[in-house]
């Protein structure tokens, strides 16, 4: 059995020091790219192994003997666990394909293109409210504000309800990530409130815009979904539809401030923007780990993994694999062949990837040409292990007139 590294979560949650996190990943790459922790979970740090785990149908989202992504226990699942079990991202075929198809239409590439004017209008509205002195809290005032407005408008959620959504989203993220009894207890309350909120929206959907996702799914795919699948699917899209993009925008702006030469190059060569956005995802992946259950006896790099084992891909480590990425610790906006897995891989590849890319492209495309001065005043990472998320990011971003 390979050497057991220090407990993963005790290291990864020290996100106040990103260098410590990535030094830890580097040590895994060199010494124990496959290891089992004391709870029996197998972790993978190599790009090749992580990609295989996420793409191979021999690995399942649901636990053995359960239709949920967790081990079957003696107690009946709570509201939060039941809700998560009906999220498409935690389903296996054939249910996964059926539910994903029901919600997919607004997120296909062609459909997303029609949202460009909507997204651009939201970005310009936010920039019009930029503080005169350039000082702002980037996470709440820009990185969260943009994608949550967009996904709310897509779903049909009133913008006036965004303050409540913000609190619910933070509660869900904490509960899903930490798994502590306290966080899960709070998550139960969040799940109940969010379910009640969406039941109300669905019940009065005739008052929502005709072309919103809630009405479109109800009209075209409702017969293929149970009432709970419809409800939980809407809840999932509201949360997932802004969480990744929020973290992408905030950490991306932080990276540019920390690398002024890269910022200057990007401002002088805007054609590099798409590649720069992908490099932001690689260097500070919003999602740091993803798990699957092995359904057959298998192995990774000669390390045996019996059927019924929970296996976790360390996405953040895979993005630093020198076998795939030249100078992996370097933030290079002109990097080519950027094979990151920030949006997952295989059949569970992120449904909203085209919308997220559109939002990021327009946000940075509108903001970067106007930046005269960019300065980090203070920032703090959230104490999470699965998500790479800034708790706060205070910056001075002076815009040109």
Side-chain half-sphere exposure of 307, counting CA atoms within 13 A? 6
SS3 content of the chain, % helix, strand, coil (to 5): 55, 15, 30
CATH number of 8-399: 1.10.630.10
In this prediction, residue 19 has a pLDDT band, given cuts at 50, 70 and 90, of: low
Q: Give per-residue pLDDT as tens, 252-299.
A: 999 999 999 999 999 999 999 999 999 999 999 999 999 999 999 999
Q: Give per-residue pLDDT as tens, 298-335.
A: 999 999 999 999 999 999 999 999 999 999 999 999 99
In this prediction, residue 71 has a pLDDT band, given cuts at 50, 70 and 90, of: low
CB 349 within 8 A of CB 89: no
Which one-letter DSSP state was computed for residue 140?
I
Phi, psi of 3 (to 5 degrees): -55, 135
Mean pLDDT of 74-88: 81
Q: Give per-residue pLDDT as tens, 178-236.
A: 766 777 788 889 999 999 999 999 999 999 999 999 999 998 876 789 999 999 999 99
Q: What is the pLDDT of residue 28?
A: 92
Distance CA 178, CA 112 (A): 33
Q: What is the pLDDT of residue 3?
A: 36
Side-chain half-sphere exposure of 15, counting CA atoms within 13 A? 23
Distance CA 223, CA 298 (A): 39
Q: What is the pLDDT of residue 10?
A: 36
CB 376 within 8 A of CB 395: yes
């Amino acid at each position: 059995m390979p050497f057991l590294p220090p407990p993963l979560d005790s290291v990864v949650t020290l996100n106040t020091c990103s260098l410590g996190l990535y030094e830890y990943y580097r040590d895994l790459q060199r010494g124990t790219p496959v290891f089992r922790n004391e709870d029996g979970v197998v972790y993978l740090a190599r790009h090749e192994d992580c990609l295989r785990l996420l793409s191979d149908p021999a690995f399942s989202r649901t636990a053995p003997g359960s239709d949920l992504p967790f081990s079957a226990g003696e107690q009946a699942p709570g509201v939060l666990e039941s809700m998560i079990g009906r999220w498409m991202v935690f389903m296996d075929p054939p249910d996964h394909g059926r539910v994903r198809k029901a919600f997919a239409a607004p997120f296909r590439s062609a459909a997303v293109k029609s949202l460009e004017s909507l997204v651009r209008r939201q970005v310009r509205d936010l920039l019009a409210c930029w503080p005169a002195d350039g000082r702002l809290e980037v996470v709440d005032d820009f990185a969260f504000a943009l994608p949550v407005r967009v996904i709310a408008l897509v779903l049909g959620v009133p913008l006036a309800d965004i303050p409540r959504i913000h609190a619910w989203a933070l509660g869900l993220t904490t509960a899903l990530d930490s798994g502590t009894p306290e966080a899960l207890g709070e998550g139960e309350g969040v799940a109940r409130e969010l379910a009640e909120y969406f039941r109300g929206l669905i019940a009065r959907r005739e008052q929502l815009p005709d072309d919103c996702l809630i009405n479109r799914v109800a009209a075209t795919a409702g017969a293929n979904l149970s009432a709970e699948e419809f409800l939980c699917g809407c809840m999932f899209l509201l949360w997932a539809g802004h969480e990744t993009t929020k973290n992408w925008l905030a950490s991306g702006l932080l990276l540019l401030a920390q690398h002024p030469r890269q910022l200057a190059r990007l401002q002088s060569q805007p054609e590099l923007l798409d590649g720069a956005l992908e490099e932001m995802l690689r260097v500070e992946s919003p999602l740091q780990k993803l798990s699957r259950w092995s359904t057959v006896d298998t192995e990774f790099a000669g390390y045996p993994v019996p059927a019924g084992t929970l296996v976790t891909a360390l996405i953040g480590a895979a993005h630093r694999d020198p076998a795939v990425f030249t100078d992996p610790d370097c933030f290079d906006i002109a990097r080519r062949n950027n094979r990151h897995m920030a949006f997952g891989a295989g059949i569970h590849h992120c449904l909203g990837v085209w919308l997220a890319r559109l939002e990021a492209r327009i946000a940075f495309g509108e903001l970067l040409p106007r930046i005269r001065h960019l300065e980090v005043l203070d920032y703090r990472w959230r104490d999470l292990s699965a998500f790479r998320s800034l708790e706060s990011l205070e910056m001075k971003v002076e815009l040109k007139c």
